[in-house]
């Protein structure tokens, strides 16, 4: 964390079209804030949300993070600089 900005880098291999991966933040595996990295219609994007229990996350209508850079090539998803 620098100047209140958390920077993370996530690399996910073998992530195809219409697939997703996520990072969750919380004290245990339920009731998490999540950042979802997805490839939809061959375009990478980021959405945020929260879990309630152990099910799929409820997604926010507007992401609560700012996407600084993204790279998706040959089923490898790199997500850089979220704040």
**Residue 2 confidence (pLDDT):** 81
- Strand pairing of 67-73 and 76-82? antiparallel
Q: Write out pLDDT tens, residues 51-61.
A: 988 888 899 99
In 1-83, where do the E strands start and end? 9-12, 19-25, 33-40, 43-50, 58-59, 67-73, 76-82
When the pLDDT of each residue in the chain is averaged and rounded to a whole number, the result is 82
- Which range is least confidently modeled, 42-51, 60-69, 70-79? 70-79
**Residue 59 confidence (pLDDT):** 94
* Contacts with 82 (C-beta within 8 Å, 6 or more apart), sequence order: 6, 7, 8, 35, 46, 65, 66, 67, 68
**Residue 76 confidence (pLDDT):** 66
Spatial separation of the C-alpha atoms in residues 55 and 68, rounded to whole Å: 29
């Amino acid at each position: 964390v620098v100047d209140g900005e958390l920077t993370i880098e996530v690399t996910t291999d073998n992530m195809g079209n219409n697939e997703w991966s996520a990072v969750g933040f919380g004290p245990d595996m339920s009731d998490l804030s999540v950042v979802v990295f997805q490839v939809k219609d061959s375009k990478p994007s980021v959405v945020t949300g929260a879990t309630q229990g152990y099910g799929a996350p409820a997604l926010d209508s507007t992401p609560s993070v700012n996407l600084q850079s993204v790279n998706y090539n040959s089923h490898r998803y790199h997500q850089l600089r979220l704040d």
